[in-house]
Structure formats: C-alpha cells, structure tokens
Amino acid sequence: MSVLTSPSAVSTTPSCVWTSLTHDLKERAIQLMAQLAFNQIADQSGWFTKESDHVQPSQQHKNPA
C-alpha cells in the first residue's frame, strides 16, 4: 500500500518557484512588491492625505459667450 500525498502537502521553496518564473513574471513580481512597499509607507506616513493639503484648486474660466 502506498501513501498518497495531496498537492498542498508537497513543500516547494520560494527559490524553486522564483527560478521557474519567466523574466516578465519576475519583473512584474518586483513591480508589485515595490508598489506594495510604497503604499505601506505612504499609508503609515499619511502622505496621501498630506498631499491634498498642498493642492491648489484650478481656476474655472467662464465663457463670456
């Protein structure tokens, strides 16, 4: 009798996954991680809310016609 293992029980290391990715997928993964890091830092510092304090409202020109 053989022991069956489910696919989720098989352990795969991150380095094995990384080496199997194409160059495009690696590039996309790096971009996503950079975006996540930026969003985390911006959220913690309140950068998104602070930016709106420096925005000048645009002037609406009325059409004289």
Q: Which position has the higher pLDDT, 59 or 15?
A: 15
Q: Is the pLDDT of residue 1 over 60?
A: no
Tokens 């380095």, located at residue = 15
Q: Name the region of 46 (left: φ>0; alpha: ψ -120 to 50; beta: rest).
A: left
Q: Positive or negative CA dihedral for 18, 21, 26, 32? A: negative
Q: Positive or negative CA dihedral for 32, 36, 41, 42? A: positive
CA distance 15 to 32: 18
Q: How confident is the model at residue 50 (pLDDT cuts 50, 70, 90)?
A: low
Q: How confident is the model at residue 33 (pLDDT cuts 50, 70, 90)?
A: very high
